[in-house]
Structure 1
Amino acid sequence: MAVERPRLVLVCGLPGAGKTTLARRLAQELSAVRLCPDEWMVDLGFDRFDGDARDRVEARLWIHAQELLTRGAVVIMENGFWDRAERDEMRLLARSLGAAVELRYLDVPSSELHRRVGLRNKEPGAAVISPELLAECEAAIEVPGAAELELFDAPFAEGPAVTPR
């Protein structure tokens, strides 16, 4: 029986892009461990917009992901990964552990993001994201280009057909 190589899947996209929906589907398909900072923030009683707490949670989840990768697991991280430098760091560190690394970028048109976030804002307990905040997020993301995607083992983008959560 062949042993599969450990794999790290980075799910990249803006609020409302469908990151959690995709990560949940992939976790089932790949028998993977899914690490979602938003869920950990809520479960630990942190405000989802508390930047310091988010940094600590994401750092701890990354340590956990590395431990899992050294044991041969498939790990899905759905941090959003807006910064190229962060994606590069994760790719290189995971590769140093012998893992394959995928980047799944969800490319969703702005109008659809705004529609989805507007619907999600109405859900009980939702972390409300204003149209202004979403516009700030859109301006802040470093969208992965073709040259960057080529650096990953299974690069591809997912379009607006991804079902929102």
Structure 2
Amino acid sequence: MSGVVPAGPRLILLCGLPGAGKTTLARRLAQELPAVRLCPDEWMVDLGFDRFDGRARDRVEQRLWLLAQELMSQGAVVILENGFWDRAERDEKRRLARSLGAAVELRYLAVSSKELHERVGRRNQEPGAAVITPELLRECEASLDVPTDEELELFDDPLG
């Protein structure tokens, strides 16, 4: 759907585990819609933080959320690649973005465990990759609050 011009502000939340394809999708959508893509992992690296530093990640994500709100208040489409493993966080972002008059999408990238482990294994071999061990990936899988059909109904239909 290249060349789609969204009517008004929009927030796109990308929900998924490491290796699910969030960044790949976000890059494509940013070009097609167009939209501003905010990726905490990239900001963590650019600012010199360890990607696994939870305190730094919280601060970066909070700052990106303030930037997202400012952009939406100016009518922009914003993509957040945080992963959004927790339902409460997804609900909070939906409510706050809607209070700004923005439509809100939730894109859940469901990928089989086998495929996730294969993708992450390949990515671990890339220079500069943040290595995610199979044990850590299993912990991530156990932590994900998978969006239900009922929850997905609370969000706006996707563009593009």
Q: TM-score, normalised by structure 1?
A: 0.92
Q: Report the counterpart of residue 126 of structure 1 in structure 2.
A: 129
Q: Report the counterpart of residue 10 of structure 1 in structure 2.
A: 13
Q: In the TM superposition, what is the alpha-carbon distance from 1:4 to its structure 2 partner?
A: 1.6
1:3-42 to 2 correspondences below 5 Å:
4-42=7-45
Q: In the TM superposition, what is the alpha-carbon distance from 1:3 to its structure 2 partner?
A: 8.0
Cα distance in 2 for residues equivalent to 1:127 and 1:94: 31
Moved over 3 A (4+): none
Asked if residue 149 in structure 1 is aligned to residue 152 in structure 2, the reply is yes
Asked if residue 74 in structure 1 is aligned to residue 77 in structure 2, the reply is yes
| Structure 2 alignment gaps of length 5 or more | none
Q: Report the counterpart of residue 115 of structure 2 in structure 1.
A: 112
Cα distance in 1 for residues equivalent to 2:95 and 2:6: 22
1:46 counterpart letter in structure 2 = F
Percent identity over the alignment is 79
Q: Secondary structure at the match of 1:8?
A: strand
Using a 3 Å threshold, how does the CA distance of structure 1 residues 37 and 3 change in structure 2: closer, same or farther? closer
2:11–2:105 contact (8 Å) kept in structure 1:
yes
1:30 counterpart letter in structure 2 = L
| Structure 1 alignment gaps of length 5 or more | 156-165
Q: In the TM superposition, what is the alpha-carbon distance from 1:57 to its structure 2 partner?
A: 0.0
Q: TM-score, normalised by structure 2?
A: 0.95
Cα distance in 2 for residues equivalent to 1:146 and 1:56: 31
Asked if residue 90 in structure 1 is aligned to residue 96 in structure 2, the reply is no
Cα distance in 2 for residues equivalent to 1:78 and 1:154: 18
2:6–2:77 contact (8 Å) kept in structure 1:
no
2:58 counterpart letter in structure 1 = D
Cα distance in 2 for residues equivalent to 1:86 and 1:106: 17
Residues 113-155 of structure 1: per-residue CA shift (max 9 Å, x gap)? 0000000000000000000000000000000000000000026
Q: Report the counterpart of residue 57 of structure 1 in structure 2.
A: 60
Cα distance in 1 for residues equivalent to 2:157 and 2:148: 14
Residues 25-78 of structure 1: per-residue CA shift (max 9 Å, x gap)? 000111100000000000000000000000000000000000000000000000
2:6–2:33 contact (8 Å) kept in structure 1:
no
